[in-house]
Structure 1
């Protein structure tokens, strides 16, 4: 669990080959200062979020008290400065941990301690970079009071007005896009906390931490199967700002879905195939995206069957998998909603209301509209609709190709599953920043190249800042985007070489990550 960290040359999914010097060790020292830096950053995120995060319409803590000024005007500007300063410290600390890890100076335990310290203040923070948790509570309140969340929006609820009024205006009248089991969980949270929105947000985070605990249990075992390095996996999947700030600080129900997904994948690799199908189907009843993994698990099962006929093995695994899926799907839906209500399937259309260029096909459509609009005035909608339709066809073709290439099962099937989850997050509308964790968490258990880790640093840093702390998108504030891109690239370069621009000065420069870590 706490082995020294080294990486080898193969990319994720490729066979691991140890470099001759991969066992060289550097004297380790517990990174107290780096962990403290990130913890200070997390505390600043908490403080800044009181004025600049997903604050309440009626705030019982700061609403009319002596500190209410932080929610308005210059006070809110100061809160934003504090919050972004905290974010910078968290990313800086994460990158420093990454350098220590690549140099073999620390193992997985300090990274886990760091992640726990960075998450702790955010458990009681206002929502960060999103307001989705208010939608969770609003839809749970609907189910609690007999209003179908798949037919009505929270605005139609006549009770628990504090909960309802904090739901984002876009989602006030739209059906829930979440699985029925998650709505049952949200119903339980609201039954416990009532109209106390602050208690509801904190309780939701605590429930979602069950998913984090499941990930922490599964990831070391996945690493042993998939050939990665545990410190790198923990650094990518647990200590990343995507997990700390988005999944926990958000919070987002993706964290709970990922818990079931990781344990389900592990169960498949350990030949507990029925358990795997059941667990991933439960994950789908929380967040429907988990369904993408199921066809790949059928190949893993088929390749573990002893019959010499591959077709027979596939049919046997497929039929049993479909049967198990059907049973869990029907029972889970019935228990959650009190009836076999498939309205949540149509509710999946609700997120497509989000249109921005972070979703690649939407961006292509908007760019095409902008160019055509220079010549003739036309509406944007047809361009985006066509681009999204083409992207869905591309995604379907990509998914089918990856699934077919996974026909030999084993680690190859899991790698292609992770790539398909990533492609789904990028090509299917909408693309929200935390969606990329679907594939990253599974991919983190494979071997990684140093330069690919640097790319993850840039992507993770940018994706957190793609939205303002209030949850509104920042993607069309072009000067802001340019600054964020520049800082994200700098953070990525800093993983491979401390102070890449020589800003601190040669006399204070730390040594670069040794060449033996991974030669590119």
Structure 2
């Protein structure tokens, strides 16, 4: 019997609706039937899709096909329409979150039989989001604007989108008005092509950017199970964690972020390197760098995968030299073709200064800068930048230490460590940065206990905060009221999922100890882990022929 009356009443309602034919397909059936959870996630995605039509981001350019659409106008211009769409969007996000959690329970156990279920469910949940207006983030409009900057013969690493006439109506966030592009030249070329092909029609451009994101997701869908089998992790669990979580779906599909393409290329390069196809691996990793330069952190780790034995520092250095030569030649050639040389690397890595420095290092730098200015009169900006530089140097030292240790661990797992250090020492951390890290951890180990609870909680909080904070509401509608409604719905449902729902409370239970598992070592407590006694070798691959 359930421990609280709310749970008992909820179970009675579920049982009653499960016996009623119109709702039995959604709620009824055996507790272990994953198909019902997949359908609930589909319903959630449909709710998000419809909700986005009222409060998603919409460009107001003359080329827009939907700005004055008579079917959307009542949803976007009336208080009733906006309220209904807000509730649909927030409830949809919450139901999608719960469906993701419940899916891991209803598959019964993580096994090869669960992998096709993950693939089918991903297709079901992602399809409706293809037809939503951008939510969670409106960066896709800045992609289009920066493609237009390049198309106009300007340098996106020197000229902001404000150089373009009518840029604000095209939907780009004002933060990027004067800021250099944080994206690599390959992605900017793709953005330029999309601007040209779409004729500047934002809705067509969004679909094309989503297609790029889907390419990245397809690469992830192909590579993650194969890498997980190779290293002894569980493919179905890795797919559930990396591709089916609501942040992935909202960021990669609904928001059409280019992070999907970067991650897909990084994983494809990792799989190629694992199969000892060195040149292909380097090409794919360089392509990932040319989408977002942060992928540069992963490159030196993955270059070690083709080595039969990494004990020799000379062999590592030789592999790094060969890989770096290919990478530099390709990147220099790409920069020369665009007429920007290698200046895009520093420009892209340092871009985004206009974004709120809300990461721990960012807040620390701002606080120290303000304190030093009060005490000594030194310009706070100089001190803040010094703190950021020190953090970057610290990250570089840690990454170099990982690479140069006498005994190197699994290169994929250590790439995850290196990337995590770089993210945590950044002055800016966006919610979707977590998605960069998950695949590199998940393909090596399955995690449970506090480690998984932490990831689940971060995803939950980030999704819900973004749903509340990223609503596009017409200026004549009281945004405070709409946000209050969204916050109320989020709070009530969140309390139920975290504290009252007996099926989901265990996902937020911090009392369970952190452990990780793979097929060779079984379960190991994280606090008991020690550095590797010998350097990683090809014989450590669990499955020598992952297909």
TM-score range, shorter chain: 0.7 to 0.9
- Taking the aligned partners of 2:494 and 2:289, their CA distance within structure 1 comes to 32
Cα offset, 1:383, TM superposition: 6.9
Residue in 2 aligned with 1:18?
none
Let me know the Cα RMSD of the aligned residues. Answer: 3.7
SS at structure 2 position matched to 1:449: strand
**What is aligned with 1:504?**
none
**Shift of residue 319, structure 1, vs aligned partner:** 2.0
Which blocks of at least 5 consecutive residues in structure 2 are unaligned? 1-29, 474-479, 507-521, 526-547
Report the CA distance shift for 1:438/1:99 in structure 2 as closer, same or farther (over 3 A).
Answer: same
Distance 1:299 1:384 in 2: 36
1:42 aligns with 2:40: no
Distance 1:118 1:367, change over 3 A: farther
Distance 1:70 1:443, change over 3 A: same
Contact between 2:87 and 2:485, CA under 8 Å: does it hold in 1?
Answer: no
The 10-residue stretch of structure 1 (316-325 or 97-106) with the greater mean CA deviation from structure 2: 97-106
Per-residue deviation at 1:233? Answer: 0.5
Residue of structure 2 equivalent to 1:292: 297
Consecutive unaligned residues of structure 1, counting only runs of 5 or more, are 1-26, 502-516
Change (3 A) 1:146 1:344: farther
Q: Give 3-state SS (helix, strand or coil) of 1:299's partner.
A: coil
Structure 1 match to 2:157: 150
Partner of 2:331: 329
2:59 is equivalent to residue 56 of structure 1: yes
Distance 1:294 1:236 in 2: 23
Aligned counterparts of 2:243 and 2:499: Cα–Cα separation in 1: 21
C-alpha distance in structure 1 between counterparts of 2:393 and 2:485, whole Å: 34
CA contact (8 A) 1:153 1:176 kept: yes
Residue 491 of structure 1 and its aligned partner are, at CA, apart by: 5.2
Q: Aligned pair in 2 of structure 1 residues 39, 478: CA closer, same or farther (>3 Å)? A: closer
Residue number in structure 1 paired with 2:453: 454
Corresponding residue number in structure 2 for 1:264? 269
1:194 matched to 2:192 = no
Deviation at 1:303, TM superposition (A): 4.8
CA contact (8 A) 2:135 2:250 kept: yes
Match of 2:144 among 137, 143, 156: 137
TM-score of the superposition, structure 1-length normalised?
Answer: 0.79
Instruction: Sort the Cα spacing of 1:267 and 1:248 in 2 relative to 1 into closer, same or farther, 3 A.
Output: same
What residue in structure 1 maps to residue 435 of structure 2?
Answer: 437
Residues of 1 paired with 2:103 and 2:180: CA distance? 42
CA distance in 2, matches of 1:480, 1:81: 6
CA distance in 1, matches of 2:499, 2:278: 42
String of CA shifts for 1:128-171, please: whole Å, max 9, x gaps.
1111111111111122232221221222234xx47863211111
Partner of 1:364: 364
3-state SS in 2 of match to 1:54? coil
- Alignment partners' CA distance in 2, 1:483 and 1:399: 43
Instruction: Report if aligned partners of 1:162, 1:197 keep a CA contact under 8 Å in 2.
Output: no
What is the alpha-carbon distance in structure 1 between the residues aligned to residue 400 and residue 495 of structure 2? Answer: 33
Query: CA-to-partner distance for each residue in 1:221-251, whole Å, 9 max, x for gaps?
Result: 1012222101100001111112111122111
Checking the alignment, whether the CA contact within 8 Å between 1:134 and 1:163 is kept in structure 2 is no
Distance 2:148 2:78 in 1: 33
- Provide the C-alpha distance between the structure 2 equivalents of 1:479 and 1:50, rounded to a whole number of angstroms: 18
**2:424 corresponds to 1:426:** yes
2:180 is paired with a residue of what secondary structure?
A: coil
